[in-house]
Structure 1
C-alpha cells in the first residue's frame, strides 16, 4: 500500500525529475528511497538519482527553479550530492556517472567486496521507480543485476560484520554509569548484527539508516530472531543491564541463523570473539 505521504511527494517531485532528465548528458533519472517504495511518512526526504555520461556542471546541478540548492561536494570523484529545499520538502539528489555504477556493482556482486556506499547504491536501485531519461534501460539492467543477492556476498558481509568485538565493554560502562558510551556501543553492536541478518536474508544494507523503520524491517526479514523490532527497541529503552542482555541474546540467535543458513561461515570463530571477556581487577594480590 502506498502512503498518502509517498503519493503526494511523487507528484510534487515529478517536475524535478523531468527537469534533470531534459539536460543533455543525462542518461537516466530515478526516484528512490521511501517515496519510491511507497512507505514514506511526513518526515521523509525524497531521494533522487541522476546518472550522467559526464560530470555535471554547477549550473546543471542547480537546474531546479525556485529551490534552495546546497552543493555538498563540487570536486572529487562521484557521487556528487546535493540538498534541494523545495518549499520545505528536502530532496537528496545524488549525481553519478553511469559507467561508475557498473564498476561499483562489479565490485559488489562479482568480486563480493561489501562496501557501505555500494550496498546503499544497490538498495537504491532495488527501490527505484519513475525512471525517465534518454537511457532508462540502464536502470532496468542494474535492477536485473541486483535482483539476485549473491551467496558469496552474504558470506563476506557476515564474516565482516559478524565479527562483533569487545561486548565486555558494556559491563564496564554500566558500572561507570556512562549512558553516552553505553548508547554508542548499543548502536555499534545492533548495527552489526542487523547487517548480518540482512545478509542472511539476501537484503542489501550499508548504513544504520537502513534500519530506520523497525517494524517494516522485521516484516522484510523472514529469517530473524522472534519479536525483532520490539526487542531492538527494548535494548535502548530498558535499563542498561537488561538492554545488554537482550542484545546479547539477539546476537547469539543471529549466529544460530548463520549456522543454519550460511554454513560456509566459521560461526564458532565469531562466537569466540563475541564472548571474549575481560575481567576487572581489584588488585594483583
Structure 2
C-alpha cells in the first residue's frame, strides 16, 4: 500500500498548480492502526487543475475545489484504494506561509470549520507541515518550509498559553447557565474551556496540536497538566448534570481544574 501511495503522490505533484504532497495524520507520526486512513496533504499555489485531479481520482469520486469544504479545510476528495480510505486534503501554500508568519509573530486565529467542533486553530497549518512526511516535492519547497518549522516559535507559545484566560471566563459563563438549568450552554462552555486548556498545554510543551481527536489523551500526559487531567475532564463532560444543583456542582469542579491548569501555565 505504501508504494501505491507514493506513486499517487508523485502523480498528484505533476498536476498543474500542485507544489507537493505530504503524508499526514497518524500514519505520518507512526501512530496508526491497520485500518487507519491515509491522509495526503496536497499543497498547491494559485490556480489548481481540478479536472486533472478528478481524472486521477477516478470515476465516481467527487473532488471539492478550494472552499468546497469550508474556509479552512480547503477541499479535496475521499477515495478508496484496495479497500482502504485515502483522503486528499487541499492546502493553499501561500496561505500556509502567511499563517506560519503569524505563528512566528505570536498571532493565531480560531475559525469555524466543519469537522472541528472546537474550531479550526490556525497553527494547525504549521503543525501539519512540521509533523508530516514529504512524499513528493519536485522543487524542494515543502522540505525547506518543514526545516523552518523544526523549532516551535516562542511567540506562539506565549500567545497560546496567555490565551488560557478564556477558559476561566467560560467557567464563569457556565455558572450563570447552570443556575438556569441550561444543559446545552453549560456543556458547550465547559467543552470549549477544556479545548482552550488543551491548546495551551500543548503550546507550553512546544507541541503542535492539530485537532481535537485524541488531544485529551496526549494532554493528560504533558508535564504541565494538572494531576489526573484526562480522568477529571471525562468526569466533567461525561455527565454534566440536568438540574441547576448538579450543573453547578460540575461547574465548581471545572473551576478547580481550570484554576490548577492556569496556575501551572503561569507559574
* Structure ID, larger Rg: 1
- Is the 1:162–1:193 Cα contact (8 Å) retained in structure 2? no
Which deviations, in whole Å up to 9, do the C-alpha atoms of 1:139-164 show, x marking residues without a partner?
22222222212222122223334333
- Is the 1:83–1:90 Cα contact (8 Å) retained in structure 2? no
**2:217 is the alignment partner of 1:224:** no
Shift of 1:134: 0.9
- Is the 2:174–2:189 Cα contact (8 Å) retained in structure 1? yes
Q: Determine which of 40, 43, 49 is the counterpart of 1:48.
A: 40
**2:186 is the alignment partner of 1:182:** yes
Shift of 1:237: 1.9
Q: Determine which of 245, 251, 257 is the counterpart of 1:244.
A: 251
Question: Who is 1:269 aligned against?
Answer: none
Please report the TM-score for the alignment, with normalisation by the length of structure 1.
0.73
Tell me how far apart the structure 2 counterparts of residues 170 and 133 of structure 1 sit (CA, whole Å): 48
Question: Who is 1:150 aligned against?
Answer: 153
Q: Determine which of 84, 100, 115 is the counterpart of 2:78.
A: 84
- Is the 2:224–2:261 Cα contact (8 Å) retained in structure 1? no
Q: Structure 1 regions of 5+ residues with no counterpart?
A: 1-7, 261-285
Shift of 1:55: 1.8
Q: How many residues align structurally? A: 247
Tell me how far apart the structure 1 counterparts of residues 123 and 71 of structure 2 sit (CA, whole Å): 18
Shift of 1:13: 3.6
Q: Structure 2 regions of 5+ residues with no counterpart?
A: 111-120, 242-246
Please report the TM-score for the alignment, with normalisation by the length of structure 2.
0.77
1:70-219 correspondence to structure 2 within 5 Å: 70-71=63-64, 73=66, 80-86=74-80, 89-109=84-104, 111-116=105-110, 117-135=121-139, 137-164=140-167, 165-205=169-209, 209-219=211-221
Which deviations, in whole Å up to 9, do the C-alpha atoms of 1:115-145 show, x marking residues without a partner?
345311111012211421312x322222222
The two structures, once aligned, show a CA RMSD in angstroms of 3.0
**2:60 is the alignment partner of 1:59:** no
